[in-house]
Amino acid sequence: MFNDLSSPAALLATRRSGKARDMAAPGPDAAALARILHTATRVPDHGKLAPWRFLVVDDRDALATMLVDTYRAEKPEAKRLEVEAMDAFARYAPTLVIAISAPAHASHIPIWEQELSVGAACMNLLTAAHAEGFVGSWLTGWATYSPGVRAALLPANVGPDGRIAGFIYLGTATAALEERPRPDPATVIGRWPPAAVG
């Protein structure tokens, strides 16, 4: 459909997620990551609240230790393979950014609108990574919702209602990315008012 991949339309139409466990080096260097994160912040933000934060993980060993220890504490009956999966989760891809929802409850802007801005920031991050030539994956799972992981990761200035929005992995694809099924536009796009019947 799009032959000129330098066009904005082609960029958006060709972005797709890769599997974090299959990503290899290189990931974004410091300059590219700075551009990606700057682009992530260029999203609708009612009230100019910046209700998002991004944590770049520099020490994967420390993250793996924290995830494993927290998983064992919260799930004492965990099997060995579950624990190994937590260790692997910390080590996927050459670059890992943790997205944080940091709502400003003192503001009159509804929390829902602030959370939408967080989602937009995560999407911009993935699109910017694609524009830089990298593949990205936005994962959630147990670590995203664990109280212990939240306590270990959230910056002090986020406040008590901050949440992890997800773990965003960036790297180089090791194989061609497969297109996933997409919805038929007719099933997700409508008109208002609806067409008269009869």
Reported as a single tens digit per residue, the pLDDT across 63-106 is 999 999 999 999 999 999 999 999 999 999 999 999 999 999 88
Reported as a single tens digit per residue, the pLDDT across 37-70 is 999 999 999 999 999 999 999 999 999 999 999 9
3 state SS for 135-181: EEEEECCHHHHCHHHHHHHCCHHHCCCCEEEEEEEEEECCCCCCCCC
Residue 198's pLDDT band (cuts 50, 70, 90): low
**Residue 73 structure tokens:** 């504490």
pTM of the model: 0.91
Reported as a single tens digit per residue, the pLDDT across 6-27 is 788 888 888 989 999 999 999 9
Phi, psi (deg, nearest 5) at residue 122: -65, -40
> Is a pLDDT exceeding 60 seen at residue 5?
no
**Residue 140 structure tokens:** 């959630």
Beta-carbon count within 10 A of 145 CB: 11
Reported as a single tens digit per residue, the pLDDT across 103-159 is 998 899 999 999 999 999 999 999 999 999 999 999 999 999 999 999 999 988 887
The pLDDT score that the predictor gives to residue 85 is 97
The pLDDT score that the predictor gives to residue 50 is 95
Closest CA to 32 of 3, 59, 56, 62: 56
Closest CA to 25 of 136, 173, 129: 173
Residue 3's pLDDT band (cuts 50, 70, 90): very low
What domains appear along the chain, each with residue ranges and CATH number?
Answer: 27-172 (3.40.109.10)
The pLDDT score that the predictor gives to residue 36 is 97
Using CA atoms, how far apart are residues 35 and 30, in angstroms rounded to an integer?
9
Q: Specify whether the CB–CB gap between 144 and 167 falls below 8 A.
A: yes
